Structure 1
Amino acid sequence: MTDAFTVLVTGATGNQGGATARALLARGRTVRALVRDPDKPAALALRKWGAELVRGDLNDAGSLRAAMAGVDGVFSVQPLAYEPETLATEVRQGKAVADAARETGVAHLVYSSVGGAERRTGIGHFETKAEIERHILALGLPATILRPVFFMDNLLHYADAQGERVLELPVRPERPMQMIASEDVARFVDAAFTDPDRYLGRQLEIAGDELTFTEVAQVYERVTGTPTRLAPLPIEERMFAWFAEEGYRADIPSLRALRPDMLTFEEFLRARLAPARD
């Protein structure tokens, strides 16, 4: 890929899209960020970083085709969904991005799915991504499907604890959880566009670390100095039952051979909390 390679980033004001836009811009790539409102603070931050803002909507096929005109690559990620209506919207939007990529002749689509999507998990927001994956493959698009595991970013929910930090989660204390930082998803997106011969046609589950939540508590305490413990809750929801029974299966040693700069959870936490501790 040349430096002139232009990428349309969807979800650019979210964690994955924002991290991807920053990673591509840092390498001197041309980034076109799809935003609904270019005047919102998150969109203005993208412009400040150097992204070109293009007004569009994942529900508007015409705006997607217009946004893709002249681009070489597309990063596709949809908002997280849980309820039946939003799950249906996610599928519709993910398929619309793929359709627009085919119609405009995009050379490389990178789709962010979820680890385990291909394994019929029975988890609503995993099954939606599996359906979008199948659509991309059925279209025969030049594509890379990345399947991130549990996001380290989710655990920042506990960052501001005072006195004692208690991780109340419906998990088995002894069961490891694979996890990844949004920055590392962005690194794989960049790698896919940079080295298409290696990544085109692949479906790759990606993770940067694997810890039990007891170990997560220990890392939090070590990094922040705040006493931290895990308080396991009953496992009732299907997603947490799947985490306990099967879970993610990324080959972390092989992934680290591809991307040795991937963050461990401790590295991620120290980097994210450093400004607040200065």
Structure 2
Amino acid sequence: MTGTPVPGLPTPVRDVSVRGLENIGGRGPYAHVVAQFEPPEPRDGPPAPDGLEPLNAVPERHLPAEFPPAPRSGLVAGLDGVAATVLLTDGGFSVQPLAYEPETLATEVRQGKAVADAALEAGVAHLVYSSVGGAERNTGIGHFETKAEIERHILALGLPATILRPVFFMDNLLHSADARGERVLEPPVRPERPMQMIASEDVARFVDAAFTDPGRYLGRQLEIAGDELTFTDVARVYERVTGTPTRLVPLPIEERMFTWFAEEGYRADIPSLRELQPELLTFEAFLRARLAPARD
């Protein structure tokens, strides 16, 4: 354990692993977080058992929209005595769905606020919220604005929190990994416009770092990325790694999100982030780790 201890956080224990699985691009886990913390003893009643067994009592992993606000007492009881918790949207660690339609966008906000409220009431010492890059900049993108609203709620509550803002996931580009003969990339982008991106496992690095070095991360809002390159360069990297001829055929830009990518875009300070996390993956390193290397 490195970093400056924060009063109220328990002594961490090693080898406690929490794995969240969510396919992005059809391959691999969303993230693998090693959560090095120990639940303190309950405030009332007998000591906690040595083994903690996670239970999934929700059929088919689906939660009704009414679920998170309804059992408020259950959320608070579940967080009672917990030193740190993670709240991710669009990811495998939380109940928030991938939201695009008005109903699911509203559900995401309700769920995010419910967890934040419960964390406050339970006295959680450190909340880590995974938002999205640019959420604070009035993007006008539906599933960015929901995260901005949850961010504002967390800050208004005065919760001890770290807000991480990941940029475009490299994992999204794995849709094209299995091309044979020729790979054609057809995103609605400006070919010359660089795109910041991050590997999902590097989001996990920052979550882990926020918990293990709270003195450095507590109270921060941090946009996180590991690489920046144009989609023309993405095509070149794909061809170099896989040996499959790859070309870019950009589609017209019509949706608000892709317009924002072309005109505004992410603003992570990648050199500074590499000082915090020297092992951040470039897109090429990410592909080589996920795919078979190009044949000689």
- Short-chain TM bin: 0.7 to 0.9
Amino acid at match of 2:132: V
Tell me the CA shift for residue 39 of structure 1: 9.2
The yes-or-no answer on 1:146 pairing with 2:164 is yes
Partner of 1:65: 76
Partner of 1:81: 99
Q: Residues of 1 paired with 2:153 and 2:222: CA distance?
A: 17
Q: Residues of 2 paired with 1:155 and 1:72: CA distance?
A: 36
Partner of 2:153: 135
The yes-or-no answer on 1:3 pairing with 2:8 is no
Amino acid at match of 1:24: V
Task: Decide which of 1, 13, 34 is 1:24's aligned counterpart.
Answer: 34
Q: Residues of 2 paired with 1:8 and 1:141: CA distance?
A: 25
Amino acid at match of 1:253: P
User: Which one has a larger percent strand, Structure 1 or Structure 2?
Assistant: 1
TM-score (norm 2): 0.79
SS of 1:4's partner is coil
Which of structures 1 and 2 has the bigger CA Rg?
Answer: 2
Please say if residues 170 and 235 of structure 1, whose CA atoms lie closer than 8 Å, have aligned partners that are also in contact. Answer: yes
Amino acid at match of 1:194: T
Gapped runs of 5+ residues in structure 1? 43-56
Tell me the CA shift for residue 35 of structure 1: 6.5
Question: In percent, how many aligned pairs have the same letter?
Answer: 74
Q: Residues of 1 paired with 2:53 and 2:276: CA distance?
A: 27
Amino acid at match of 2:270: I
Pairs within 5 Å for 1:92-107: 92-107=110-125
Tell me the CA shift for residue 161 of structure 1: 1.0
Please say if residues 5 and 30 of structure 1, whose CA atoms lie closer than 8 Å, have aligned partners that are also in contact. Answer: no
Pairs within 5 Å for 1:106-255: 106-255=124-273
Q: Residues of 2 paired with 1:127 and 1:74: CA distance?
A: 23
Please say if residues 15 and 182 of structure 1, whose CA atoms lie closer than 8 Å, have aligned partners that are also in contact. Answer: no
Please say if residues 206 and 255 of structure 1, whose CA atoms lie closer than 8 Å, have aligned partners that are also in contact. Answer: yes
SS of 1:179's partner is strand
User: Which one has a larger percent helix, Structure 1 or Structure 2?
Assistant: 1
Q: Residues of 2 paired with 1:139 and 1:151: CA distance?
A: 29
Q: Residues of 2 paired with 1:259 and 1:15: CA distance?
A: 24
User: CA 1:165/1:58 → structure 2, altered by over 3 Å: closer, same or farther?
Assistant: farther
Gapped runs of 5+ residues in structure 2? 6-10, 40-51, 62-66, 90-96
Please say if residues 115 and 147 of structure 1, whose CA atoms lie closer than 8 Å, have aligned partners that are also in contact. Answer: yes
Aligned length: 257
Please say if residues 179 and 208 of structure 1, whose CA atoms lie closer than 8 Å, have aligned partners that are also in contact. Answer: yes
